[in-house]
Copies of this chain bind each other. A is one copy, B any other.
């Protein structure tokens, strides 16, 4: 088995995107090609190719002759993403509904329980990971990879949210509400109510949009 080398541009892409996701690079920060070259020990060619791809994928803005900057994400953008996520997430649930196996349902139940435990223990990060698994479980059953990838991409817009801005008590309250929504989604799945779960999921996003969106 050959060790097929990944192109350098992909490494650069991962390096930059993970730094953005981790919040080490903030909106508006300028990315110097040379600085990235020095940091990673590669030439400008793969760096530029990665930056172009990152811009195309929404991570960066490009301004010709003025380099690349981390794309901002203001409240207006957040609203836009929520307005798109709702219908898409709902559609994913709708499509997945008839495809969910008993094992999937069991898995979803387990995850809802796990999220409850995480909330009781104040483990917000943990909750967040499980929550992602919950959604991925039915995304992966929707039979539409393009849809799944689209939603995943939109979700990344919110990965870099700050866990510390909300106090523990408020967070628990919000998360409890969110998890009761998960429980309801699960019920609709069990009842195989495809259109019901579609509309419910869509409207849940809508309601979150009108609330704060540091936690969802």
Contacts and interface: CB of A to CB of B under 8 A. Distances in A.
Contacts of A95: 83
Interface in A71-104: 77, 79-81, 83-84, 86-88, 90-91, 95
A84 B53 contact: no
A24 interface: no
Given A52-B53, A53-B52, A84 B7 contact: no
Interface residues of A, number: 30
A84 B52 contact: no
Interface string A45-82: 10011001100110000001000000000000101110
Nearest to A90: B87
A150 B87 CA distance: 13
Nearest to A62: B7
Interface of A: 4, 6-7, 9, 45, 48-49, 52-53, 56-57, 64, 77, 79-81, 83-84, 86-88, 90-91, 95, 144-147, 150, 202
A88 B84 contact: yes
Binding site secondary structure of chain A: helix
Contact of A87 (B52, B79, B88): B88
A88 B79 CA distance: 15
Copies of this chain, tallied across the complex: 2
A37 to B, nearest CB: 16
Contacts of A83: 91, 95, 144, 147
Contact of A88 (B57, B81, B88): B88
A81 B56 CA distance: 20
15 contacts: A6-B64, A49-B49, A52-B53, A53-B53, A53-B56, A56-B57, A80-B145, A80-B146, A81-B146, A83-B144, A84-B91, A84-B144, A84-B150, A87-B87, A87-B90
Given A49-B52, A87-B87, 5 more contacts: A4-B64, A7-B64, A52-B53, A86-B91, A87-B90
A106 to B, nearest CB: 27
A48 to B, nearest CB: 7
